[in-house]
A = this chain, B = another copy of it.
């Protein structure tokens, strides 16, 4: 959990956390850039404007390669796959210490300063937050069920490509549930007012 080693021998130049995240995803399953953005949302929010150019760079370095898939009534897509070289640097990178997690959450700043205004606004913020996480959670549980139906036992096999994503989904639901619990706990403290 140390800071990231820059210019490490495996990467030559400019391999960052997002680049590795993309490699990790195409390792599990061939993906288009568009799909990657959506899959990434689970633990790394990136915009397409960041992902597309990065994929091109990763292809230049031959860590990924794409094939064009033509579609009817839809734009064509580039389906990326991990190359042998890509797999190698990914495996090497896993043995480095991960960078410290970063969280930035404006909601918390508002809670920090809530004493300046009304408890009514506090309640509002908390209810919106509960709504937000409930929606997230509902969606998340749906995705968990989808994975369970599709892969069943594989999900508990640490050698299956699905293992990691499934574990991370489980983690997210736990944390989201705990966020909701905390909101209710705070609302209780606001009742007396």
Contact = CB atoms under 8 A, between A and B. Distances in A.
Given A104-B44, A104-B101, A164 B17 contact: no
A156 B108 CA distance: 17
- Chain A contact-residue range equals 35 or more
A25 interface: yes
A8 interface: no
A186 B91 CA distance: 20
A110 B21 CA distance: 8
How many copies of this chain are found per oligomer? 2
A75 interface: no
Interface in A76-97: 87, 90-91, 93-95, 97
Contacts of A23: 113
Contacts of A114: 94, 158, 163-164
A1 B129 contact: yes
Contact of A164 (B93, B103, B113, B129): B113
A12 interface: no
Interface in A104-163: 104-117, 119, 121-122, 125, 128-129, 132, 156, 158-161, 163
